[in-house]
Amino acid sequence: MDVDLVVPMKHPRDGKSRLRGAVEADRHPALVLALAADTLAAVVATAQVRRVLLVAADPAAVAELRDLGIEIVGESGKGLNQAFRHGAELLRKDDPGGVIGALQADLPALRAGDLAAALAEAAGRRAFVADRQGTGTTLLLAAPGAPLDPRFGPGSARAHQASGAVALRGELPSLRSDVDTPEDLAHVRNLGVGKHTAARFGEPCATPG
Ligand SMILES: Nc1nc2c(ncn2[C@@H]2O[C@H](COP(=O)(O)OP(=O)(O)OP(=O)(O)O)[C@@H](O)[C@H]2O)c(=O)[nH]1
Ligand SMILES: C=C(OP(=O)(O)O)C(=O)O
């Protein structure tokens, strides 16, 4: 089943504040963009993904990501869940019966195979993928034609489960490895990040792309 995904992003200068200090301060925005570029490159390489809509606090600041084959729109209103709702409404207008998903932009080790496996396991049910700590959410999928009803934020895995979403059980290591802290960054570098993030550390790319 094909899916259209919404991915939110703050201005790269403002985002990932818990990651500050992992690289020199003036390189922080480029690192945040690289995390997103590797996430999006894996997403567009996933055969079941039809459209990717990035909802950006400042579209001009992330315009280079368009080259990966995604669409970018500005946000309407404030906050992460409002950004997800805005993107989902735009996608829903174009396809009232389709499957819409919400994906985080900080998954630089993401493999297309893990995303495809999650979509297959969900099989059209409202479902979510918890992060490797088990508390946050990296992917939320709506049922066909249903509202996204995003409940991201602290403890979102529990909130999504309480909203009726099925917790996907697959191992999905690359899809569960979001980057919030310097420890998370070390974890994904060990797992193997995409070429954009690898380049920020002067390393060759460890993933097939
Ligand atoms: N468009 C938009 N994106 C947001 C907003 N809030 C968070 N995001 C994005 O949503 C994703 C998940 O958010 P978090 O993992 O909490 O990241 P963050 O807010 O950048 O990180 P911290 O500053 O460390 O809390 C990141 O890609 C953020 O850039 C918002 O108000 N608008
Ligand atoms: C907003 C979330 O992301 P994080 O925990 O990565 O900040 C979430 O998991 O709901």
- Cα–Cα dist 165/125, whole Å: 8
Domain coordinates of the chain in residue numbers? 3-200
180 C-beta closer than 6 A to ligand 2? yes
Whether residue 17 is annotated as binding a ligand: the answer is no
Q: Closest-lying ligand to the alpha carbon of 156?
A: 2
Whether residue 9 contacts residue 52, with contact meaning beta carbons closer than 8 Å, is answered with no
- CATH number for the region 3-200 comes to 3.90.550.10
pLDDT in tens, 161-206: 999 999 999 999 999 999 999 999 999 999 999 999 999 998 776 5
Average pLDDT over residues 151-167: 98
Average pLDDT over residues 123-149: 98
Whether residue 153 is annotated as binding a ligand: the answer is yes
pLDDT in tens, 21-72: 889 899 999 999 999 999 999 999 999 999 999 999 999 999 999 999 999 9
Q: Decide if pLDDT at 1 tops 90.
A: no
How far, in Å, is the centroid of ligand 1 from the Cα of 83?
10
3-state secondary structure of 26: helix
pLDDT on residue 205 = 65
pLDDT on residue 208 = 53
Whether residue 21 is annotated as binding a ligand: the answer is no
Handedness of CA 143, 144, 149, 152 (dihedral sign): positive
pLDDT on residue 129 = 99
150 C-beta closer than 6 A to ligand 1? no
- Cα–Cα dist 167/138, whole Å: 11
How far, in Å, is the centroid of ligand 1 from the Cα of 124?
27
Among 40, 57, 56, which residue's Cα sits nearest to residue 5?
40
How far, in Å, is the centroid of ligand 2 from the Cα of 84?
13
